[in-house]
């Protein structure tokens, strides 16, 4: 099963993508996590991505598309995957459609998690992220069992550099300008499914599972 997660920054794409990946036994591929790991290890890719991410802008398509298409060609992706944070522009979506068509494949579902902008800034201010396994928490809505320690891998949790309120606002603006048009694109492909992301996160997951089966 090949799944794309759509939604504004902070809508809960990562939270739901990890649960989907666990339930259906497919890899969770987050382009944001790949960039953050590269920044941490000081690679050329990380150096290129960092300045864009710090400003809340998108990393250019010529960097992102090749990286993602390479990742989904790896053997663990043979039975499908859940893409979190890709595609984010129409050229990214078209490249993915083309690359899959060449292999006789297609995306099965584009899951759009809808949350109004007003809720997003509050969510981001309480987010804590695991720098090691990528799991995401919230100090109120999804707290870890031990304060500031990842339930999955035991690493110390951190606040993401791009979760400052002014950067969050820029990320929201970029989302509406560059990424929201994908909703129309995937509606046109007849694979769009929309979810109310303001609900409690287990309820959002139940709604998703009802669709995926
Ligand atoms: P990325 O890491 O993808 O960030 P994002 O899309 O901005 O999304 P987030 O990870 O911030 O939010 P999310 O929707 O996953 O929410 P989460 O589940 O954490 O990208 C970062 C940057 O990398 C981009 O700005 C860009 O520069 C670059 N980049 C990445 N991909 C790219 C691409 N394809 N092209 C170009 N550039 C790219 O939840 C948020 C918080 O809310 C958490 O604390 C969570 O616990 C809580 N929460 C979740 N669900 C609920 C709920 N139902 N109720 C209450 N709280 C909830």
Which CATH number belongs to the domain containing residue 92 in this structure? 3.40.50.300
Q: Give Cα separations from 14 to 53, 93, 105, 107, 211 (angstroms).
A: 17, 19, 24, 18, 18
Overall number of domains in the chain? 1
Residue 150 within any structural domain of the chain: no
Ligand 1 centroid to 213 CA: how many Å? Answer: 25
Active site residue 171: yes
Active site residue 88: yes
Residue 18 within any structural domain of the chain: yes
Catalytic pick among 48, 50, 132, 160: 160
Tell me if the pTM is above 0.75. yes
**Relative orientation angle of helices 44-55 and 165-174, to the nearest 10 degrees:** 100
**What's the pLDDT score for residue 166?**
86
Residue 126 within any structural domain of the chain: no
Active site residue 152: no
Residue 192 within any structural domain of the chain: yes
Residue from 26, 120, 9, 90 nearest 17 by CA: 26
Whether residue 105 contacts residue 97, with contact meaning beta carbons closer than 8 Å, is answered with: no
Residue from 97, 66, 82 nearest 21 by CA: 82
Ligand 1 centroid to 183 CA: how many Å? Answer: 17
**What's the pLDDT score for residue 113?**
98
Residue pLDDT tens, the chain, 213 long: 999 999 999 999 999 999 999 999 999 999 999 999 999 999 999 999 999 999 999 999 999 999 999 999 999 999 999 999 999 999 999 999 999 999 999 999 999 999 999 899 888 989 999 999 889 999 999 999 999 999 999 999 999 989 988 899 999 999 999 999 999 999 999 999 999 999 999 999 999 999 999
Q: Give Cα separations from 140 to 8, 28, 35, 69, 200 (angstroms).
A: 20, 24, 27, 36, 12
Helix ranges (H only) for 42-116 are: 44-55, 61-71, 90-102
Residue 47 within any structural domain of the chain: no
Which domain does 12 fall in, by range? Answer: 2-26+79-116+175-208
Question: Which atom of ligand 1 lies closest to the CA of 127?
Answer: 44
Active site residue 160: yes
Whether residue 29 contacts residue 81, with contact meaning beta carbons closer than 8 Å, is answered with: yes
Residue 93 within any structural domain of the chain: yes
**What's the pLDDT score for residue 83?**
98
* Residue having the nearest C-alpha atom to atom 53 of ligand 1: 201
* Residue ranges around ligand 1 (CB below 6 Å): 7, 9-15, 30-32, 35, 52-53, 56-59, 64, 85-86, 88, 92, 123, 126-127, 136-138, 141-142, 162, 171, 197, 199-201, 204
Residue 52 within any structural domain of the chain: no
Burial level of 155, CB count in 10 A (0-12/13-18/19+)?
middle
Strands, sheet with 192-196, edge to edge from the N-terminal-most edge strand: 28-30, 81-84, 2-7, 109-114, 192-196
Residue 106 within any structural domain of the chain: yes
Which of 17, 32, 157 maximizes ligand 1 atoms within 8 Å of its Cβ, making it the mutation to test the pocket?
32
Ligand 1 centroid to 104 CA: how many Å? Answer: 30
Torsion angle in degrees (nearest 10) through CA of 11, 15, 20, 25: 150
């Amino acid at each position: 099963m090949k799944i794309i997660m759509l939604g504004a920054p902070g809508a809960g794409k990562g939270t739901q993508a990890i649960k989907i990946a666990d339930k259906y036994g497919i890899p969770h591929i987050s382009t944001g996590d790949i960039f953050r790991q590269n920044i941490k290890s000081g690679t050329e890719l990380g150096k290129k991505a960092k300045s864009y991410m710090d400003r809340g802008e998108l990393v250019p398509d010529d960097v992102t598309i090749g990286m993602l298409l390479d990742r989904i060609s790896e053997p663990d992706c043979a039975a499908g995957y859940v893409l979190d944070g890709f595609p984010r522009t129409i050229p990214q979506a078209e490249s993915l459609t083309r690359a899959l068509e060449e292999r006789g494949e297609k995306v099965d579902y584009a899951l759009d998690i809808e949350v109004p902008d007003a809720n997003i800034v509050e969510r981001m201010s309480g987010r804590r992220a695991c720098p090691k396994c990528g799991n995401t928490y919230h100090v109120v809505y999804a707290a870890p069992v031990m304060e500031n320690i990842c339930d999955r891998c035991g690493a110390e949790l951190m606040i993401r550099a791009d979760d400052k309120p002014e950067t969050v606002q820029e990320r929201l603006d970029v989302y509406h300008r560059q990424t929201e048009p994908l909703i129309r694109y995937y509606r046109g492909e007849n694979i769009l499914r929309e979810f109310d992301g303001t609900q409690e996160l287990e309820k959002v997951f139940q709604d998703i599972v009802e669709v995926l089966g």
